[in-house]
Structure 1
């Protein structure tokens, strides 16, 4: 290889390295644990945040001890950051008490199938509360099929946590329209 050819290759390499500094960098993403807090009398059979699964939550249940993995979020919060929350809700949790006996009989399975047909499925695009340090992704399930999401590195109830809803919330007489 001639000296001019080597010089040209070197110049092309140097130019490409310099141009890489001009390319907009993407935010660094991390997988954060997913937790849910149910403030309603319904059961949340399952939910997800950006496709990352969350645990099932009984009425008024959940919290820091109920985590699953993971939802991908940027390390640095940015204005307009949203996630997609999807969930399935059982509005009549205690119905199985009145199902036919014995358990797992034909009548019991028929009642279970009818009960499951009343489950509702929901999807919401939700803004994530601002955070300085990425922590656990907490999804708060509120009355009227509303959800809010936090990803701060604080536990609910601690200073700096953005939402402090009562654990038990009643459904208002009128729900807001989406």
Structure 2
């Protein structure tokens, strides 16, 4: 069956439209790729500023997970992906488990790791608290170690620059032995 002139013209127009659409989509994809923020994995370090609680484990955007004893910090885990340079509105989700009485087992009469001791530990673990918060990341010029600071009243501060805790350039130099107040102020989310 021979092709008619109208059928051939319709097919050529359809092919041209498909080709131009594909070119436009490719151009949009290139534009999107060129405007994407460059990201890298950065090590995570925790600082527990509480003198009476321990952080059993924590994560940043689902990554990380080390424990941090009371009034201590350091020790890096790998890694959370963040922009190489800080972006306005940059936030992360920090999740953690807290032991409000990490020194209790030192006074238990049961011999460590016996059945009686494990039973007591199981009861002790029922007092652990789980937390989750989205928090802004302090501005930084270049991505470095991600520092998570655990403060009284479940307040969290996060920095991610090339400065280290204890240096004057670090945005959060709280003491490592802060006491939990008798009553925490109400958060705006309450």
Tell me, in whole angstroms, the C-alpha distance in 2 between the residues paired with 1:151 and 1:87: 18
Q: Is the aligned partner of 1:73 residue 2:65?
A: no
TM-aligned CA deviation for residue 20 of structure 1: 4.6
How many residues are aligned here?
168
What pairs with 1:5-16 in structure 2 (closer than 5 Å)? none
Q: Is the aligned partner of 1:55 residue 2:37?
A: no
Which consecutive unaligned segments of at least 5 residues does structure 2 have?
1-11
Q: Is the aligned partner of 1:106 residue 2:115?
A: yes
Superposition TM-score, scaled by structure 2 size? 0.80
Match of 1:30 among 31, 36, 40: 40
Higher Rg: 2
Q: Give the strand-richer structure, 1 or 2.
A: 1
Question: For 1:99-126, what per-residue CA distance to the aligned partner results, in whole angstroms no more than 9, with x for missing partners?
Answer: 2422222211111101011111100100
Moved more, 167-176 or 130-139: 167-176
| 1:164 aligned residue | 173
Tell me, in whole angstroms, the C-alpha distance in 2 between the residues paired with 1:56 and 1:86: 12
CA gap 1:53/1:23 in 2 versus in 1, 3 angstroms: closer
TM-aligned CA deviation for residue 14 of structure 1: 6.9
Tell me, in whole angstroms, the C-alpha distance in 1 between the residues paired with 2:182 and 2:108: 30
What pairs with 1:87-102 in structure 2 (closer than 5 Å)? 87-102=96-111
Question: Residue 112 of structure 1 aligns to a residue in which SS?
Answer: helix
TM-aligned CA deviation for residue 40 of structure 1: 0.3
Which consecutive unaligned segments of at least 5 residues does structure 1 have?
none
TM-aligned CA deviation for residue 62 of structure 1: 1.0
TM-aligned CA deviation for residue 91 of structure 1: 0.7
CA gap 1:160/1:103 in 2 versus in 1, 3 angstroms: closer
Tell me, in whole angstroms, the C-alpha distance in 2 between the residues paired with 1:18 and 1:119: 52
Question: Residue 170 of structure 1 aligns to a residue in which SS?
Answer: coil
